[in-house]
Structure formats: structure tokens, C-alpha cells
Chains A and B, each alone.
Chain A
Amino acid sequence: MSIPKLSLYELHEKFTAGEVTATEIVRAYGLRIGQVEPKVKAYITQTKDAAVAQATALDASLKGWRKTLPMMGMPLAIKDNICTEGVLTTCASRMLGNFVPPYDATVIARLRAQGYLLIGKTNLDEFAMGSSTENSSVGPSRNPWNLQCVPGGSSGGSAAAVAADECVAALGSDTGGSIRQPAAFCGVVGLKPTYGRVSRYGLIAFASSLDQIGPITKDVRDAAFLLGAIAGHDPLDSTSADVPVPDYLKALKKKDLKKLKVGVPVEFFAEGLDAEVEQAVRAAIEQLKALGGEIKEIRLPRTDAAVAVYYVIATAEASSNLARYDGVKFGLRAKETKDLLDLYMKTRQEGFGPEVKRRIMLGTYVLSAGYYDAYYGKAQAVRTLIRQDFEAAFQEVDLIVTPVTPTPAFKFGAKSDDPLQMYLSDIFTISANLAGVPAISVPCGFSQTGLPIGLQLIGRPFEEETLLRAAYAYEQSTQWRAKKPAVR
């Protein structure tokens, strides 16, 4: 039995049955990380040693008593913008290069209460701003399917770690596609829950009205399993929803799409969509039909406004959220400054990378006197129209199916000099954040050059069960997950 090849759910079952100990699990993952991490560079901080100690204690406490909790003994990787008490949390920024959170994010507190093992903190684009991990202060992660290609972003380290079997599952965060796009690029499953489904307490804020934490996993069942472990109301996050958490694993029982109406929005199959991606997604739609889904063409007419709306709202919120990095309470402080204003200016000059500065500038501009109504107000109003598009669509259908990305993973440097081109590559994922609805990325094929392609399913608010049911039925009826990246 090769432990790192097992899914989260399989490993959980073996651990619960006493067939494998936490110590064996951590040792196996330690070896695997040792082998492939120099090539993949998924992690900013590895916490193997602490995990070994935790595992030893866990095994001792379980002796002769195997009643386990869902995530007990499971080695998870956590995106480095989620606070872990006592463990460096950098956001891949020089600004937080030495930041050790004095508290746990709520998702971490929940996992810790179940006895999970933190195996490491994964790489990202600085403050989750980017689509490739090229904006990380410690350098990019690499795509396990092709080390010359980006793993996607911003949760690129988490997706690469899952794809390369360097953890059993991971958490990412998704503001405009940052879970789904890297999941698609790395051939794994990524779920962005409904806004409010998972607490954001302790997630270092980028754009507060869009950010959500979610699972990145080896298969759909794992996504359901991990979502169940982190979802639910949290009094510490006023935007977390007080909606009961169903048993997501139960939702997988049906294994078909009978009585489900599946909408195909014509706007997502337009110019700029790579032919191989289109072919794979169209074939997947046929498969959804074969599984009993009723396929229906629909319209989301304001789709082409999504990128513009997003880059106004997300940067406006970011410019406000990132005002806290002032060199006073935590993080970097510039040396040799002449007064307080100079300290702010120089600290922020030294601490932030180019993309973060660009977005703070854009956000400050659209919020500044004279431009607020023309840009920010306008974007918020068009956001309402985009939500209305989804509300209207979900009157007609239960699910919407689209590509995740216009192309498979691109090469390093391909878009890093042209921010607008990079932003436009998020076109298929950002609408779900603007509308607050849940969406999942599941593998649906490969390009001729062997790069994974992702299928996106979008659902109604708080109907993750429908998403998971359809994604699982699709996944189980195909063989894409059997193929593994060649990195070793």
C-alpha cells in the first residue's frame, strides 16, 4: 500500500480501521515530500517535524481505542494566507515574512479539534492576488504535470501539493477563481463554497465580499468530506451564514443526474476558448446527459462585464483591507524613516510586490473623490445585474456547466508582463464570486500535450449537495482521475 496515493476518504477509513497509524502516514508523506518538493516547490513552510510529534501523541492516545474523528491523523496542507497559531503565515509577502499568528483561523480550529496533522503551508500569489503563483515573494510553484507550466493561482501551492501527492488534501481560498483555476490546471478537484458557507475568520483578507475558503482534493468525495469538516456558522465571522450543514457524503449516493436540469450558458463558449478545452467540456456535457441530466441552453448575458466589475470591487476592497499593513502592529517595518508618514510610505514600498501595489493603486483610484460613482458605484450596480442573471438562470435550471479556464496551464512568463491579459483569463470563474454562488472544478480531460482540463459546475446558494452529487456522478463515470502526473 502506497499511502500518498490514497484519497483522503480512503486514508481516513484505513486509519479508523487501525490498518495504518498516524506515524506511518506522516512518515510516508515526509518521504514523498522529500522526493518531489525540490521540483514542485508547493510549500512555503514545511511542518513535518511538528506533524511527527503530533502523530506520535495521537497514536499513543488511540491505543486500543479506534473511535476517530473525520480528519484525525490526516496530513493536510494549508494555504499560507490562513492563520495557524504558532506557525509562520506569510501570504507569500515580504510584508508578513515573519508573521506568526497568535490565533487559529476558525477552519484550522475545527480541523485541530478533529486531530488533523498540519503538514505545511502552501505557496500562493502574494495576498492571493494572481493566477499563477508568479507573484509569490518566494518564487513560483510548478505544475506537477509539466514543470515548465504554472500550477495556476492563487492557491497554486495547494493544488500542486495535492496533484503531486505531497499532502492528502488541502485548503485554498477563492476570491475570483483561486481554488478552481489551479485545481483545473493541476488535474484535481477544487470547491468554492457559497459565500458565507465557511467562516472567513483568520483568513487574511483580500476582498471581503468575495473571499471564501474551500477544499482542494484528489477526488469529489474528498471535497464533500473536507467541506463537511470546515463548514458552518461562526459567531466570529458576521458574514458566515447560520444555515445547517448537511451530510455532504450522503449527497453522493445517487450517482446520476436524474431530474436535474443542467444549463449551458452560450456566453461561456465564445471567442478565446481554446479548441481542446471546448471539446473536452462539450464531451463532458454529453456525459452529464448520458447520466440523466436534462441539458438546456441558457443565457447569462452580463458575463462579459464580470472581469471589469471584479477588478473594480476586488481592488477597492483590497486597498481598504491592506491599509492595515503600516509597519506598526505586525509585519515589516522599514528602517531609517524620518517620521510616521515616511514610515508608512517606505514600509509599504518595501513590503508589497508589484501586483499588490498595482491593485492597491487601482482600488484607491476607483474609490477616490470624483471617481467613486463612475467606477465603484457602477461596478456594484452591474454586480447586481450579474446576480440577477444567475437568479433568472436558476429559475430554469438546477446547475450550470462551463469550462473553468479558457486554456490549459500556460508557461511561466507567458502573461506576467500584461496584467490585463492575466485578469481576462479569470473570465469563467469570477462570476460565481460576484454572485456568491458555489462552484466546483472537476477534471474532464487532457490536452494533446498532456495538461489537465477542468469542468466547472455552478449551483444555487447553499446547494453544494447538488454540485457534489453531479460532480461525483460525472467523475465516477469517467477515468480521468486514474491518470497521475509524472513528477517523481
Chain B
Amino acid sequence: MEITKQEVEKVAKLARLELTESEQAAFTKQLSQILTHVETLSRYDTTGVEPTATVLGQVNVFRPDIARPSLPVDRSVSNAPESADGFFVVPKIIEDRQPL
């Protein structure tokens, strides 16, 4: 399957990856090659075959709803690029309101 540069751009945006021109060109070619190989799977008839998501066959694993020790706040944010008062700091998301 040949994929286009436009599709690569679209996927990169979905994956939140800013790609350089040369990365876009390389990925367009390489992903086409890999997907062509993946398409060889079509020769296997999978009508009525259940998909495998996990090999253990577990459905739900429950634990008692009991509070247990967890990481304290200061250690939870210890690796954050920016934090303040135990919170993660991110750029402003909501624009300032226009004054009335």
C-alpha cells in the first residue's frame, strides 16, 4: 500500500509529532514498504476468528477497595519540567476573556 505525504502529515498530527521535511519523506517511503508487508496477512482467512488482545484470558481483575499508601505529592511532581505548589504547570489553555 502506497501512502501519501498528506496521509503522513495527518497521522503525525494525530500522534502529536512535529516532523521535519526529511522525516516526512523518509516515513512516507518506509511506512509504505512496511504496510505492503503487513498486507500479506490478507492471505489468512480470519472469518469468525476471535481477536487476541491478551494471552492470559483474564477479563477483569479486582482488588478490595481499600486505601493504601501512595506517592506523596512532592515526589509525584519531582520529575515535572515545571511545577508549583504541588501542581503541574502547563501553558495557558483558555484565552483571557475580552473585557466587557
Interface of A toward B, CB cutoff 8 Å:
98-100, 102-103, 195-196, 209, 235, 238-239, 241, 302, 304-305, 307-309, 311-312, 319, 323, 326-333, 337, 339-341, 343-346, 348-349, 352, 354, 357-358, 360-362, 364-366, 368, 375, 377-385, 387, 419-420, 423, 434-436, 461
Contact = CB atoms under 8 A, between A and B. Distances in A.
20 contacts: A102-B76, A209-B54, A239-B56, A311-B34, A328-B88, A328-B90, A329-B80, A333-B82, A337-B91, A341-B16, A343-B90, A348-B18, A349-B18, A357-B19, A364-B14, A365-B31, A368-B14, A383-B52, A385-B46, A420-B34
Q: Which of B38, B49, B52, B58 is packed against the most chain A CB atoms within 10 Å?
A: B52
A328 B80 contact: yes
B38 A311 contact: yes
B25 to A, nearest CB: 13
B17 A419 contact: no
Contacts of B35: 362, 365, 375
Q: Which of A304, A312, A362 is packed against the most chain B CB atoms within 10 Å?
A: A362
A423 B90 contact: no
Contacts, number: 161
A364 B15 contact: yes
Closest 5 CB pairs of A and B: A436-B55, A380-B51, A333-B81, A330-B79, A381-B46
Interface in B50-100: 50-56, 58, 61, 63, 71, 75-82, 88, 90-93
B27 to A, nearest CB: 6
B99 to A, nearest CB: 22
Contacts of B37: 307-308, 311, 420
Given A343-B91, A361-B27, A384-B50, A305 B58 contact: no
A382 B81 contact: no
Nearest to A304: B40
Contacts of A345: 16-18
Interface of B: 3, 7-8, 11-12, 14-20, 23, 26-27, 30-31, 33-35, 37-38, 40-42, 44, 46, 49-56, 58, 61, 63, 71, 75-82, 88, 90-93
Contacts of A434: 52
B51 A385 contact: no
A209 B80 contact: no
Nearest to A421: B33
A357 B41 CA distance: 24
Contacts of A339: 91-93
A146 to B, nearest CB: 29
A387 B11 CA distance: 31
Nearest to A309: B41
